[in-house]
Amino acid sequence: ALFFAECAELLANLQEHLGGLREAVEAGEGFDPEVVNAAFRAVHSVKGGAAAFAFDQLTDFAHEFETVMDQCRSGNLSLNNELTGTLLRAGDVMELLVESASVNETLNDPLVDRILADLASAMGGDLVVSSETSPSPSKEADEAALGTAEGAETHCYDINISPDEQFLESGHDPIKLLT
């Protein structure tokens, strides 16, 4: 419950920041780079929490969204009307994905793939354009670093952590259990 409340707040802030960026772009004004950073952090925070709770569809979408936001904040992608529109729609999709995750469902909406395609287009087609779960390059790099790449001996462990309601309500961070 706490995760979803935090997501609602983060996504409201995200939409506010993206709306401000769009207004600045439409007016032909410069924009505050800190607004881009704040939007990036919102997407990054939702992604991190979603990953901690194994909401794979939300995590994967947020990863692609975050990649585009990172390119914007580093100056490798220029914000224009088309891109800010795509980012706002991506924020809307994240809200839908959070809703779906809150009821433990997968969102089967072609809008997800359409926005992923728009994000990929903004990056010159470098993103994985599918809402299907697939390993990202960072996961492959993690496997190589951990020695779990093809041919390496692996061990599997099944760890279940089931905190009671009071654990989360009291403000504990479940991510810290994993570190």
- The pLDDT tens digits of the residues spanning 16-46 come to 999 999 999 999 888 789 999 999 999 999 9
pLDDT above 70 for 146: no
Contacts of 23 (CB under 8 A, 6+ apart): none
SS3 91: helix
To the nearest 10°, the Cα dihedral for 166, 171, 172, 175? 120
Contact 5, 168 (CB under 8 A): no
pLDDT above 80 for 160: no
Least confident of 15-19, 65-69, 148-152: 148-152
- Residue 34: its pLDDT value, please? 93
Between 170 and 106, name the one with better pLDDT. Answer: 106
SS3 124: coil
pLDDT interval class at 84 (50, 70, 90): very high
Q: Which two tokens stand for residue 70?
A: 């990172």
- Distances in Å between the alpha carbon of 121 and those of 65, 71, 115, 116? 12, 13, 10, 9
Over pLDDT 70: what percentage of the chain?
A: 69
Give the C-alpha separation, 118 to 78, whole Å.
15
- Residue 179: its pLDDT value, please? 52
- Distances in Å between the alpha carbon of 25 and those of 31, 80, 81, 83? 8, 6, 6, 10
